Structure 1
Amino acid sequence: MTETSDRHSARHHAASSSPSSSRRRLLRRAPAALALLGASGGALLAGCERSAPPIAFKSLDITGADYARQLALTDARTEQPFLLSNLKGKIVVVFFGFTQCPDVCPTTLSALAETRQLLGPDGARLVGVFVTVDPKRDTAALMKAYVGSFSPDWVPLRGSADEVAAAAKEFKIFYREVPGKTESSYTIDHTAASYVFDTQGKVRLYVRHNTPPADLAADIRTLLAQAG
């Protein structure tokens, strides 16, 4: 390399390393750097945003469950087909049992009646639906009188043995006959929980037996508040 070339290279290196040259490079790079910072900063801010806390129900929240979606039986009051969609706009509590049940069924329905009272004016928006798992003995007249003793506008449902079995399967309800001293004195073991549907007809809650009425009333108020 010639001396002239060396001097030219040295001058070029000195010029590129000068403070003014460095500032020009920084200025040229600044927009890209700011854009990158803005993007990453936005991501950090988005990551810091908190999602709304989940609703704290006292009963088991089963929103979105792929069961307990439909209930197609016969209304014992009218002997007409019944669908859950008939009660859209109401909070519906579905319970499976039988009229000769000695303890669980009357206790559950009594607690539901107390829940309705605790709701005050909103109690009119609560409907109990009682499904018999004993279609052999639970006639339409017996069902109507039994459920009506807890509330005249609650719904007693019955059907054939196959229809009841299909409904129980859809709701994951277990039941079986337990022999008694005579052929007609049998009792029935069955699931003692209830299901709550919101005003849009969607299953939302699984309510365990012996849930205090005040707890159930609080859950129903929450569902009503969501409905507006």
Structure 2
Amino acid sequence: MKSPRTRLAALLALLVAGVLLAGCHGATPLPFRLTDLTGHMPQLEFNLTSDENKPVSAVDYRGKVVLLFFGYTHCPDVCPLTMAQLHVVMKKLGAQADGARILFVSVDPARDTPAVLHGYVNAFDKHAIGLTGTPRAVEALVKRYRSAFTREPSGKDGNYEVSHSSAIYVFDRDGNPRVLYTPADKQDDLVHDLQLLLDQGAPT
């Protein structure tokens, strides 16, 4: 039986392979260092609930460069490490970071209430927003971007872990998918590509 980490690695490999095999079209190419998603995936689209307990959609984040990450607050390693790294990325962007938003979408809506998410994301970075929703809404968004997650069996204490992709999807100010960042990539490459997108200015 495969371990959660093995399944996670397999999911990530399938995701990247799917991206590379997809057709090329869409927004104007930029000299990205990361895996270019331009034209490979659909625009950012969702209807969820923010960590301020307000209904939000992708339209609410038009005009911002969005970093979409699927995770959960009880995650023991991948999520806190990734969020800490994104905080460093925002610091490196300086004033430009105000043009970006980190959308942390919970794959554990049963435990991740808006209040729980609010405390979690704000502990990492002011540009982070926690999002939750119905299991169906979360699953639909995960599948939209060819990702996946699996809830592991509960332990004797009732706690459980959720295996999920550690990839980060970056969308431009118009909500178009542009690059994919994975743990195997260099942090400075993400900073570079975000600067390119942030320099593009207002959405069309």
Shorter-chain TM-score bucket reads 0.7 to 0.9
State the distance in 2 between where 1:150 and 1:181 align. 28
SS of 1:85 mapped into structure 2: helix
**107-116 or 152-161, which deviates more:** 152-161
Shift of 1:99: 0.3
List alignment gaps of at least 5 residues for structure 2.
1-28
Q: Out of 71, 78, 88, which is 1:97 matched to?
A: 71
How big is each residue's C-alpha offset from its partner over 1:110-158, in whole Å with a ceiling of 9 and x where there is no partner? 1111111101111111210000000111122111100111123421100
Shift of 1:182: 2.5
CA contact (8 A) 1:76 1:144 kept: yes
SS of 1:173 mapped into structure 2: coil
Q: Out of 174, 192, 198, which is 2:166 matched to?
A: 192
Closer, same or farther: CA 71–194 of 1 in aligned 2, 3 Å: same
State the distance in 2 between where 1:125 and 1:194 align. 17
Percent of aligned pairs with the same residue?
A: 33
Shift of 1:94: 0.5
In the other structure, the counterpart of 1:144 is 118
Q: Whose Rg is larger?
A: 1
CA contact (8 A) 1:68 1:171 kept: no
In the other structure, the counterpart of 1:171 is 145
Residue type at the aligned position of 2:168: S
Given the alignment of the two structures, is residue 72 of structure 1 paired with residue 47 of structure 2, yes or no? yes
Shift of 1:183: 6.3
State the distance in 1 between where 2:159 and 2:43 align. 30
In the other structure, the counterpart of 2:6 is none
In the other structure, the counterpart of 1:205 is 179
Count of aligned pairs between the two proteins: 175
1:29-40 map, 5 Å: none
1:45-124 map, 5 Å: 55-67=30-42, 69-77=44-52, 79-124=53-98
CA contact (8 A) 1:179 1:186 kept: yes
State the distance in 1 between where 2:49 and 2:152 align. 25
Q: Out of 104, 110, 122, which is 1:130 matched to?
A: 104
CA contact (8 A) 1:194 1:209 kept: no
List alignment gaps of at least 5 residues for structure 1.
1-53
State the distance in 2 between where 1:96 and 1:68 align. 16
SS of 1:123 mapped into structure 2: helix
CA contact (8 A) 2:49 2:132 kept: yes
SS of 2:200 mapped into structure 1: helix
**What is the TM-score normalised by the length of structure 1?**
0.71
Q: Out of 109, 127, 131, which is 1:157 matched to?
A: 131
Q: Which has the higher contact order (CA 8 A, sep 6+)?
A: 2
Residue type at the aligned position of 1:67: P
Structure 1 or 2: larger helix share? 1
